[in-house]
Amino acid sequence: MTVTLRNVDIPDFGLPVERPAIPAATYETRCARAINKSGADWLVVYADREHAANIAFLTGFEPRFEDALLLLGKAGQRIIVTGH
């Protein structure tokens, strides 16, 4: 097999016209699935600037400068703690 490197043009996909909106019900479904799958009474999710993906996926919130915790309770409790 012969491998050849060549230059390719990167396609211009443009910029999105508007930011897609994720309904609040989607976030609630994600939180409910996470706590149910854990089997625990409470699930604690940690985030900081470098590790924000889990909280962003579950809530849409991304901590920029501070640490954050998301507490998910089995009975539907949802608590976000931010700051130092």
10-residue mean pLDDT profile of the chain (84 residues): values are: 93 88 96 97 95 95 91 97 84
Of the chain, the end-to-end C-alpha distance in Å amounts to: 57
pTM of the model: 0.76
In a 13 Å sphere around the CA of 23, the CA atoms on its Cβ side amount to 3
At residue 24, the pLDDT reads 96
The two three-digit tokens of residue 8, written as one number:
């390719």
